[in-house]
Amino acid sequence: MRHIPRKRFGQHFLADAAILDAIVEAINPGADDVFVEIGPGEGALTARMLATVARMHAVEIDRDLASALRRKYGSGQLVLIEGDALDLDFSTLPAGLRVIGNLPYNISTALMFHLCAFADRFVDMHFMLQKEVVERMAAVPSTPAYGRLSVMTQYWFEVQPLFRVPAAAFRPPPKVESMMVRLTPRRAELRGQADAGLLKRVVTAAFSHRRKTLRNALAGLLTESKLVELGVNPGARAENLSLNDYVALSRHLEL
């Protein structure tokens, strides 16, 4: 008997063999690579990965699915963590981690922000996400999709959209189109060495009032004269600033 997908967990199981094979090809797993899969579900991707890698970790919130995976694989093959990936301290897993998963759409944005905090521990991440979320992650300034998720993701990672996946590839089919994306951590020297907490504070303030000019949105953090001094137009809006602009603003708050 197949598992009945649960709405509260946002479950849509990838069932298209050709898409699953394309994902493994994109990941290009090495036998000695250390993987953690977020939301293995029924184990369709897990099985393909374990055909190459000897052992991997997996995080599953659904106790029935976790039980089924335990019955199928011993702990020597699959180190199963039963719980919510949003609560997982990824620093407790080995460094040099490769992260994969078909992420539930209802937590994907929150999970991306959570994973950013552990970016330095990852080799790369390969995720299936709602196409709109990938477009927001990869968006450039002065476009409608550009926002807080764009800036914070691009500060920590190089974002590479890979390929689209139709709704028909899932059981049950979602109401949206999906996309595979690769995220590769940026080296510290390329990030500009901003304080992550201050960067988040500036970006959140700016995009919390997208329709306001920066002189108003950032009034509690930076004066208009300071914006001008830093080369930022006070009359611009949040979506007009580049990642480097936000890094410069946050670095000023450190002074």
More confident residue, 190 or 221: 221
Residues 91 and 205 in one domain: no
Residues 114 and 179 in one domain: yes
More confident residue, 189 or 44: 44
Residues 221 and 150 in one domain: no
Expressed as residue numbers, the domain containing 223 is: 196-254
Residues 236 and 126 in one domain: no
Flag whether 236 is in a domain. yes
pLDDT above 80 for 27 = yes
Q: Note the pLDDT of residue 104.
A: 81
- Residue 10's pLDDT band, with cuts at 50, 70 and 90, is low
Flag whether 2 is in a domain. no
Burial 85-124 (b: 16+ CB within 10 A, else e): beebebeebeeebbbbbbbbbebbbebbeebbebbebbeb
Flag whether 1 is in a domain. no
Q: Note the pLDDT of residue 4.
A: 59
Q: Note the pLDDT of residue 9.
A: 47
| Mean pLDDT of the residues in the chain | 89
Residues 107 and 219 in one domain: no
Any idea what the CATH number is for the domain that residue 227 is in? 1.10.8.100
Q: Note the pLDDT of residue 1.
A: 42
3-12, 49-58, 95-104, 125-134: which has the minimum mean pLDDT? 3-12
How many domains does the chain divide into? 2
Share of the chain above pLDDT 90, in %: 63
Flag whether 167 is in a domain. yes
- Residue 64's pLDDT band, with cuts at 50, 70 and 90, is confident
Could you say which of 139, 174, 191 is where a domain stops? 191
Q: Note the pLDDT of residue 2.
A: 62
pLDDT above 80 for 13 = no
Residues 58 and 121 in one domain: yes
pLDDT above 80 for 6 = no
Residues 84 and 68 in one domain: yes
Residues 76 and 156 in one domain: yes
Residues 85 and 109 in one domain: yes
Could you say which of 191, 208, 241 is where a domain stops? 191
Q: Note the pLDDT of residue 41.
A: 83
